[in-house]
Amino acid sequence: MTKIETAKLLAVLAAAFPRFDVDDLKVRVWHEMLGDLDYVTANIAAKKLILENTFAPSIAEVRKAVMEILNPDGMTAAEAWGEVERAVRTYGYYRETEALESMSPSVAKVVKYIGWQNICLNEEPGVVRGQFLKMYTQVAEREQKELLLPADLRQGIQRLASRMELKVIAGGGES
């Protein structure tokens, strides 16, 4: 989205919410935080928020609405567990690699955390199901938050985390 398109988006919000003032600083900040989004999608998200809310949306609410428009079929934790159950029935204990490949990335990540063999051999399926549901919800929420970040900000955080990890590793042996 260009800076002019960001200004148009803010003008629409200002027309819908009389107390929502637009100035040059607001246009710059909103453009910095939303500039990576497609204008048409952001405009649809803003209109959706206008219809749903009595107060002007924040940048975070606009980004979240855009992500909901772009990813309408988010998997629930129960649906994710269904993937695991199908994989257990189809592939069993010995075909872990094939089972993991049959799952969506988020589901496979949680299954790896718990352990494929632990899931297959567990004598209390209700317990492992509860653990999976809780972990999947946490992983999905983290991934959703990461998706909400602009790409350049996400990359900056990853670079910073890499440097921090290197410093920890480098300094870890010194006492």
Distance CA 144, CA 74 (A): 10
Lowest mean pLDDT among 40-44, 53-57, 73-77, 87-91: 73-77
Lowest mean pLDDT among 32-41, 104-113, 157-166: 157-166
Distance CA 121, CA 117 (A): 6
Tens of pLDDT, residues 139-161: 988 887 877 778 778 788 888 87
pLDDT band at 175 (very low <50, low <70, confident <90, very high): very low
Q: Which whole number is the average pLDDT over 86-106?
A: 93
Tens of pLDDT, residues 97-131: 999 999 999 999 999 999 999 999 988 888 999 99
- Residue 58: pLDDT over 80: yes
106: exposed, middle or buried (C-beta count within 10 Å: 0-12, 13-18, 19+)? Answer: middle
Domains defined for the chain, CATH in brackets = 3-70 (1.10.8), 74-175 (no CATH)
Instruction: Please check whether residue 28 is in contact with residue 59, taking contact to mean a CB–CB distance below 8 angstroms.
Output: no
